[in-house]
Amino acid sequence: MTAATTVTGGVIPERRVAESAVGEILDEVWEEEPGLIGWITTVNHKRIGRRYLVTAGFFFMLAGINALVMRTQLGTPNNTLVSPELYDQLFSLHGVAMIFFFATPFNAGFGNFFLPLMIGTRDMAFPRMNAVSYFLFLFSGLFMFSSLPFGLAPDGGWFAYVPLTGVKYLPGLNLDVYTLGLLFLAVSTTVGSINFIVTALKMRAPGMTLNRVPIYVWTVVTQSFMLIFALPSLDLANAMLFLDRRFGTNFFDIKHGGDAILWQHLFWIFGHPDVYIIVLPAMGIISTVIPTFSRRPITAYPLVVLATVATGIISFGVWVHHMFAVGLSQVSESFFAAATLTISIPAGVQMFAWLVTMWKGRVVITTAMLYAVSFIVAFVIGGVTGVMFAVVPFDQQVTDSYFVVAHFHYVLFGGAVLPMLAGLFYWWPKMTGRMTSHKGGIVSFILVFTGFNVTFFPMHFAGMLGMPRRVYTYPSGLGWDIPNLISTIGAFILAAGFLWTFFVFAQSLLSGPRAPDDPWGANTLEWVTGSPPKPYNFPVIPTVHSLNPLWDGKSLASMEEHRHDYNRTMTSTHLALRTSELDTRVEKIMPMPEETPVPFATAVLLTAFFISMLVGAYHAAEVSFGLCLAVVAFWLWRRPGIDEPEEAEEL
Amino acid sequence: MVAPDGPKSRFVTNAWWILTGVAAFVCIVVIALAVGAMLFRRRPKRVDTEGGQRQVVVFGLLIPAVVLAATFALSVTGIAVNANPPSPDRVTVDVIGHQWWWGVKYPDAGVVTANEIHVPTGEPVRLRLTTGDVIHSFWVPQIMPKMDLIPNRPNTTWFSVDRSGVYRGQCAEYCGLEHAHMAFEVIAQPRAEFEKWLHREQQTAATPSTAEQQRGLSVFESSSCATCHTIRGTTAHGHVGPDLTHVGSRDKLAAGTIPNTFGNMAGWVANSQAIKPGNKMPPQSLSPDDLRAVVTYLQSLE
């Protein structure tokens, strides 16, 4: 573990030179309002990214506590710790929260903070949309979670199958919280996805042609496209269910010509891509961490990029494997079995790209690297059980049992949470300017990885012994007692691991050593900026010469070369460089918005709209929606002289 | 894995061993490579920054493609096994899902019962699945994998049991509050015994033979019991809850929740909400004597 704690350098010399030329004036131009007003009005992608991480982390903690209560209930047979009413809400909210209010937004947090840094620009393409998408996420999350103390949390499972979720069988507000809460969040996610795509296509630093785009950026863009294509299906389903429940339409009502299976198709056309929506950016983190700590560029970059994009496309053709017990035709079962097998090929490509990178390089053991490698271990286990589902009768045997619960926790916890922890330990010095304790990180890794396996591995056995999922209790004597008890013990180890990890980060904030610009000797542009980065990120926009700009020598030097070039320093006001999509030809110098309360107002009014819809105050809903439109109209009003882009001289 | 006792579950178990073998091999190789890369590290000067594409293509793409093609063959075989019984079936069972119990009918014999499916050992049984309310899923781990019960979309499948015995099944699709307490039993017995059972089930309920049983019947008919339950041969014709014509012969109560004993049944009738909270049967305010009489009568219905 020699190089692990090697902290290289302080400030990167090329940036110091660039900073001395234009730093002072940029500091002034990009200075931010402090205090509460600053908090509400900021459009800075790094502050928004941090907020995403903190908020999503908070929701992760709440949903984790849900899980701990459930595991305690299931620790022993015939337990009566929680009522079935509460248990049903706990598991439904746990799923909804982890999938929608933790995994995707936590990825969005990293994306917000690091995507602009990695591509060498000063902010997201639409900073105000970025702010609005955060506030909408925050408010929709509070909307969803605040239902639990009232006993009104969703209780139809995270995939909310009709007709159970119809008003006849679940008459409370619980499922309205579900449909409205997810529609509410979808606004945020859609806005955020568009922002990522435009940013990555139009804001890359000159020279960062498509073959030099970091894999993490590819994964975020692929994920964003997937969201834009997958979410409408979920939105449609939720809107239809809301109309069925509130206004007596019959989309899903069998008695009046509706269809119960329609919901399942609409849900899973979204739901299966969503697995990759969560896992792809996490794999992007792995493709970032592994080359850095293998001391060499990633192997087979073009194949990894192709695999990422291929996963995004194929994932739209496998949804029926969630429905193999529905009794569909043999032809469609075979087709979707084949598609399910196909999607594991790109995963195999990426897996071996990482392994070969590690073997051909020299591995440096850090906490981030341990988490990254543990991802490989967990994901291969979750992957092989996933392949098993392509054998249709086997799928029918284990679907909706604890075997599936084990499988998707290996895929989602192993495939997303472990990489997120890798990302957190890796990028923490950049985000906070502080190093974390190496020993503390190792203990965090040991506790979390042990707890994870002890919790979820025995669930394979419980499932194979016939234990269905979503049961609030079970009889003894079926062989389920011991795996369940072990899982419960594991859950507490896991909780201890997270508590410990929290303290490691807290200790770092309070008394961690100052982080240099590039503590890991990494290869991507975010490490050129300060730790933490200045509001304007780069004093001089560099010219990118390779896939590993920090290792090629020339890309850094370009910051020094261009320090007197206005097209790269853009010192007059909030400005950013717009470049062409494929070859990053400089197109325009774009004015970027200043701080504004408009996104906050938009989000508050939309929140008022959704609350009014929930409680059935439809006039209030009309008023708040009207006001919201008025604010958006004000927002879109173009002011001559302020919103007009400047021509770049280099054209 | 549970011990398989039918052709369908035997396929699943065999597939499971093949898949697990391959999966374990894949996992061991990948984990060994990942851990190995951390243990055996090159010296900094020997880091190889070029190439590696060929290894990625061979191990990450070509070899997996061959293994996956073989898996597909296994899947298609399984779909075929599932589709067709090895010989023509002679018994048809209709199973109707309810929140939170199973209605069971033998249409050819005109038999109606609940939560217990008797079948002749070693013969394919045609299974027709429908639901009276929400989606449920029929699963007997030792005999057959899942098949859903979906509104307005009857599913027909088959199963057969190799050995006589009692097999536990349970609802596997979340169906609301008491999804956890929606079990049933498949009882496989030799053909002759099965026919004897079927014949007995065809009969209407036994006439009360004691005064207490007689009192139980009249309480049953005159109280709210009869609005929800049917006892063929009496005036009780409700269709909300399970048919109780031969309830005394059943093994369990409340969809596999408790053993069918005098005490359990009395507790269930008096206040079923304490045993299975949220089930559709309200507590019955019967006097102790009436309660004893009703339970005595019901237990006599064999």
pLDDT tens per residue, range A176-212:
999 999 999 999 999 999 999 999 999 999 999 999 9
Distance from CA of B253 to the nearest CA of A (A): 14
Res. A559: pLDDT tops 70:
yes
Interface of B with A in 119-158 (CB under 8 A): 129, 133-135, 137, 139, 141-142, 145-148, 150-153, 155, 157
What residues of chain B lie within 8 A of the CB of A300, using their CB?
52-53, 56-57
Q: B84 or A2: which carries more pLDDT confidence? A: B84
Res. A6: pLDDT tops 50:
no
CB contact (8 A) between residue A341 and residue B71: yes
Terminal CA-CA length for chain A: 50
Is some CB atom of chain A closer than 8 A to the CB atom of B202?
no
Contact assessment for residue A362 and residue A294, using Cβ atoms and an 8 Å cutoff: yes
B8, B30, B75: residue with CB nearest A376: B30
Confidence of residue A640 (pLDDT cuts 50, 70, 90): low
* Mutation choice for A interface testing from B74, B133, B155, B174 by most A CBs within 10 A: B174
Is some CB atom of chain A closer than 8 A to the CB atom of B171?
yes
pLDDT for the residue B83: 86
Res. A165: pLDDT tops 90:
yes
Distance from CA of B213 to the nearest CA of A (A): 33
Q: A5 or A498: which carries more pLDDT confidence? A: A498
- Distance in angstroms (rounded) separating the CA atoms of residues A84 and B46: 61
Interface of B with A in 47-66 (CB under 8 A): 47-49, 51-53, 55-57, 59-61, 64-65
Distance from CA of B134 to the nearest CA of A (A): 5
Res. A651: pLDDT tops 60:
no
Confidence of residue A579 (pLDDT cuts 50, 70, 90): very high
Q: Which residue of A has its CA nearest to B154?
A: A327
What residues of chain B lie within 8 A of the CB of A349, using their CB?
56-57, 60-61
- Distance in angstroms (rounded) separating the CA atoms of residues A418 and A421: 5
What residues of chain A lie within 8 A of the CB of B127, using their CB?
none
Q: Which residue of A has its CA nearest to B279?
A: A84
Terminal CA-CA length for chain B: 36
Contact assessment for residue A485 and residue A76, using Cβ atoms and an 8 Å cutoff: yes
CB contact (8 A) between residue B173 and residue A353: no
Distance from CA of B57 to the nearest CA of A (A): 7
- Print burial letters for A88-124: b (CB count within 10 Å at least 16), e (below 16): bbbbbbbbbbbbbbbbbbbbbbbbbbbbbbbbbbbbb
pLDDT in tens, A358-380: 999 999 999 999 999 999 999 99
Q: What single-letter DSSP state applies at residue A360? A: H
- Distance in angstroms (rounded) separating the CA atoms of residues A141 and A144: 5
Contact assessment for residue B19 and residue A391, using Cβ atoms and an 8 Å cutoff: yes
Per-residue pLDDT of chain B (302 residues; tens, 9 = 90+): 688 999 999 999 999 999 999 999 999 999 999 999 999 887 877 888 888 899 999 999 999 999 999 999 999 999 998 888 888 888 999 999 999 999 999 999 999 999 999 999 999 999 999 999 999 999 999 999 999 999 999 999 999 999 999 999 999 999 999 999 999 999 999 999 999 999 999 999 999 999 999 999 999 999 999 999 999 999 999 999 999 999 999 999 999 999 999 999 999 999 999 999 999 999 998 999 999 999 999 999 98
* Mutation choice for B interface testing from A394, A546, A547 by most B CBs within 10 A: A394
- Distance in angstroms (rounded) separating the CA atoms of residues A523 and A537: 17
A169, A325, A471: residue with CB nearest B134: A169
Question: What percentage of residues in chain A have a pLDDT greater than 70?
Answer: 97
Whether the ω angle into residue A645 lies within 30 degrees of 0, i.e. cis, is: no
What integer is the mean pLDDT of A461-483?
A: 96
Interface of B with A in 84-123 (CB under 8 A): 99
pLDDT for the residue A335: 94
pLDDT in tens, A17-30: 999 999 999 999 99
Res. A2: pLDDT tops 80:
no
Q: A620 or B42: which carries more pLDDT confidence? A: A620
Secondary structure element (H or E) that encloses residue A178, with its range: helix A174-202
Res. A643: pLDDT tops 70:
no
Q: Which residue of B has its CA nearest to A163?
A: B134
Question: From edge to edge, which strands make up the β-sheet containing B116-120?
Answer: B116-120, B183-189, B165-170
What residues of chain A lie within 8 A of the CB of B275, using their CB?
none
Q: Which residue of A has its CA nearest to B76?
A: A334
What residues of chain A lie within 8 A of the CB of B79, using their CB?
330, 333-334, 337, 392-393
Contact assessment for residue A250 and residue A256, using Cβ atoms and an 8 Å cutoff: yes
Q: What single-letter DSSP state applies at residue A187? A: H
Q: What is the DSSP string of A265-328?
A: HHHHHHHHHHHHHHHHHHHHHHHHHHHHTTTSPPTTHHHHHHHHHHHHHHGGG-GGGG-TTS--
Phi then psi for B209, rounded to 5 degrees? -110, -10
CA-to-CA dists, residue A135 to A110, A189, A221, A239, angstroms = 16, 11, 22, 22
Confidence of residue A648 (pLDDT cuts 50, 70, 90): low
pLDDT for the residue A3: 35
Residue B210: other Cβ atoms inside 10 A: 12
Q: Which residue has the tokens 């936590």?
A: A106
Res. A641: pLDDT tops 80:
no
Res. A647: pLDDT tops 60:
no
- Distance in angstroms (rounded) separating the CA atoms of residues A333 and A30: 57
Q: Which residue of A has its CA nearest to B77?
A: A391
Q: Which residue has the tokens 């060929």?
A: B54
Distance from CA of A409 to the nearest CA of B (A): 17
Distance from CA of A356 to the nearest CA of B (A): 6
CA-to-CA dists, residue B113 to B179, B280, B302, angstroms = 20, 18, 12
What integer is the mean pLDDT of A462-490?
A: 96
Q: Would you mind telling me the total number of residues written for chain B in this entry?
A: 302
Secondary structure element (H or E) that encloses residue A185, with its range: helix A174-202
Q: Give the E-state strand segments of B88-154 in sequence order.
A: 91-98, 101-106, 111-114, 116-120, 125-131, 136-140, 144-149
Under the phi-then-psi rule, with left for phi > 0, alpha for psi from -120 to 50, and beta for the rest, what region is B111?
Answer: beta
CB contact (8 A) between residue A164 and residue B65: no
* Mutation choice for B interface testing from A265, A323, A330, A360 by most B CBs within 10 A: A360
Res. A1: pLDDT tops 50:
no
- Distance in angstroms (rounded) separating the CA atoms of residues A51 and A600: 14
CB contact (8 A) between residue A164 and residue B174: yes
pLDDT in tens, A501-527: 999 999 999 999 999 999 999 999 999
Confidence of residue A493 (pLDDT cuts 50, 70, 90): very high
Interface of B with A in 206-245 (CB under 8 A): none
CB contact (8 A) between residue A473 and residue B31: no
Contact assessment for residue A219 and residue A280, using Cβ atoms and an 8 Å cutoff: yes
CB contact (8 A) between residue B15 and residue A393: yes
- Distance in angstroms (rounded) separating the CA atoms of residues B55 and A360: 11
Give the type of residue at A510: L
- Distance in angstroms (rounded) separating the CA atoms of residues A115 and A199: 8
The model's pTM: 0.95
Q: Which residue has the tokens 């054998």?
A: A391
CA-to-CA dists, residue A430 to A16, A184, A535, angstroms = 17, 32, 13
Q: Which residue of A has its CA nearest to B12?
A: A394
User: Which residue, among B111, B74, B72, has the nearest Cα to B203 in the 3D structure?
Assistant: B111
pLDDT for the residue A318: 94
CB contact (8 A) between residue B141 and residue A465: yes
CB contact (8 A) between residue B172 and residue A353: no
pLDDT for the residue A236: 97
Res. A345: pLDDT tops 70:
yes
Strand partners, A212: none
User: Which residue, among A183, A186, A192, has the nearest Cα to A129 in the 3D structure?
Assistant: A192
Structure tokens of A35?
């205090």
